[in-house]
Amino acid sequence: MLFRSVDRQCQDHTTCTPAQWETKAAEAHVDRTCAALTTCVFANQYESTAPSSTVNRVCTQLTVCSATQWQIAAKTLTSNRTCKDHTVCEGTEYQTKEASSTSDRICAAHTTCATDQWESKAAGTHADRQCSALTTCTSAQWQTLAPAATSDRTCRDNTVCTSSQWQTRPASGMQDRHCALLTVCSSTQ
């Protein structure tokens, strides 16, 4: 029979503090091991995994929106920010609101001129097309230049024959009146 000369020494297991997590569980002859919880730098990280008594906190780098993106959801202490690509205006659209880091670009369809209009200001990437009503020649005018998509109709007053002239061609909407001098009869005619 074996006799011990020294009594056994017992100690309480280490207790992890609220700022620590258990890296190794306590056993009958082994003490519990604790480590400090990871601290996130919230300026550029968020807590992607919450800590528990046996799990360390996990911090993840925040997403940085690029110059062609805007932030649609802000970061929180436990969530990442969300970025989305800016809308790109199509060739048939123009920008009505500029994109920023926190708002999307807004586009609108270019105005289409009606058949009784002409394009008085060309469409651009940041401006709408402007349309103006086509000039209508009066009955006392004739059309000198036909309208086109980007130019107005041009009208000119019809020539008025004087009392010493006669009309050789009548005026119409597309041509001027022509006048010629009256033949002067001699005293013998």
Which two three-digit tokens encode residue 172?
């119409």
What mean pLDDT comes out for the span 16-20? 94
The pLDDT of residue 187 is 83
What mean pLDDT comes out for the span 66-75? 96
Contacts of 189 (CB under 8 A, 6+ apart): none
Provide, for the chain, the percentages of residues in helix, strand and coil under a 3-state DSSP scheme, each rounded to the nearest 5.
Answer: 0, 35, 65
Model confidence pLDDT, tens digit, residues 22-49: 999 999 889 999 999 999 999 999 999 9
Contact 33, 20 (CB under 8 A): no
Whole-model pTM over 0.75: no
What mean pLDDT comes out for the span 53-68? 96
Model confidence pLDDT, tens digit, residues 97-136: 999 999 999 999 999 999 999 999 999 999 999 999 999 9
Q: How far apart are CA 110 and CA 125, in angstroms?
A: 10
Q: What percent of the chain has pLDDT over 70?
A: 98
The pLDDT of residue 78 is 96
Q: How far apart are CA 46 and CA 170, in angstroms?
A: 86
